[in-house]
Amino acid sequence: AQKAANLANARSRVLEAARAGAQMVMLPECFNSPYGTQYFGEYAEEAGGESTAALAAMAREAQVYLVGGSIPERAGGRLFNTCTVWGPDGALLARHRKVHLFDIDVPGGITFRESDVLQAGDALTEFGTPWGRFGVAICYDMRFPEMAMIAARRGCVGMLYPGAFNTTTGPLHWELLLRARAVDNQIFTAGCSPARDAAVTYPTWGHSTIVDPLARVVATTGDAPDIVYGDLDMQLVEDTRRSIPVSTQRRFDLYPDVASQ
C-alpha cells in the first residue's frame, strides 16, 4: 500500500536485474499501488507524475529498456490503467492504456469491474529496440488474440504483458494464454505479475513467465517476489517462421474479415 516503498522496491529490483545483465526489464501491472478499483483514484497520477518520473530515472540509471508495468493514470478527469515504456536514456518510447477493461463475474470465483472507475484506451502500442519491435498490452488485453496477431503481422518479435491475474483465472489461463499468443504468432511473449500477498483484497497469481516463439516456457517462477531472467535469441523468430511457415500459408480468401492489417 505504500507508494514510495513500491517505487523504491522497483528501483532496487531494476538495478539488480541490470547488474545481472538484463538489457530489457518489465515490471508488473499496477506496480505502484494495490490492485483494486477502490485504490485507483487514490494512487492515480498525471503524466509526468512521481511514478513516471521514477521510471524514467530507473531506466536511465540502469541503462535498460524499461516496460514500466502499469499505474493508474489520471488524464482530463478520467482514469486509465497505463503502461509507459522507457529507453536507456530515460526517454519515453511508448504509452499503452489498457484497451480491454477487466470486467468479469465467475460464480464462486471472482467478480471484478475495472470499468466502474477506469476508461479504456483506444490504441494498440508498439516500440522499437535494437533487437526488434515489441507490442505492449496489459493483463486482460492478453485474452484478445487480435492484438498480438496484429503486432506480429506488423513485424513485432514479441508481446509484453504487465499483468495481475488472480488465483481463480491464473491457474487456468495465465501460462496457457502466454503460450497461445506465442505459438499462434511465432513471437516471444512475457507476462510480469505482482507477487502474491494473501492479505489483500485481490491475491495475484504471480508466476511471471517468458515464452519463446515455439511456445516453450523459457523462464518462470512461483508466487513469491522474484526476478525472472531469459535470454531471447531473436534468430528463433525467423527460424520458427521458416520451419513452420503459417504466416505465409494463411488463406485470407477464406476469412477475408480478418484480412491482414
Residues that bind ligand LYUYDEPV (CB under 6 A): 29, 102, 139-140, 143, 164-166, 169, 173
Q: Which is nearer to ligand LYUYDEPV, 62 or 71 (CB)?
A: 71
CB of 2 to ligand LYUYDEPV, least distance (A): 21
- Tell me the three cell numbers of residue 17: 536485474
d(CA 193, CA 195): 6
Q: Residue 69's closest CA among 15, 29, 125? A: 29
Q: Which is nearer to ligand LYUYDEPV, 36 or 90 (CB)?
A: 36
One of 83, 139, 156, 192 is an active-site residue; which one?
Answer: 139
CB of 52 to ligand LYUYDEPV, least distance (A): 20
Q: Which is nearer to ligand LYUYDEPV, 166 or 186 (CB)?
A: 166
Length of the chain counted residue by residue: 261
Three-state DSSP at 65 gives strand
CA distances (Å), origin 51, targets 4, 54, 138, 192, 225 = 9, 5, 17, 18, 20
Phi, psi (deg, nearest 5) at residue 135: -95, 150
One of 29, 45, 73, 126 is an active-site residue; which one?
Answer: 29
CB of 102 to ligand LYUYDEPV, least distance (A): 3
Sign (positive or negative) of CA dihedral 46, 101, 37, 177:
negative
CB of 170 to ligand LYUYDEPV, least distance (A): 7
Q: Which is nearer to ligand LYUYDEPV, 78 or 113 (CB)?
A: 113
* Annotated catalytic residue 146: no
One of 30, 45, 73, 98 is an active-site residue; which one?
Answer: 98
Question: What's the Rg (C-alpha) of the chain?
Answer: 18
What is the H or E stretch that residue 248 is in? Answer: none
* Annotated catalytic residue 98: yes
Which residues are the active-site residues? Answer: 29, 98, 139
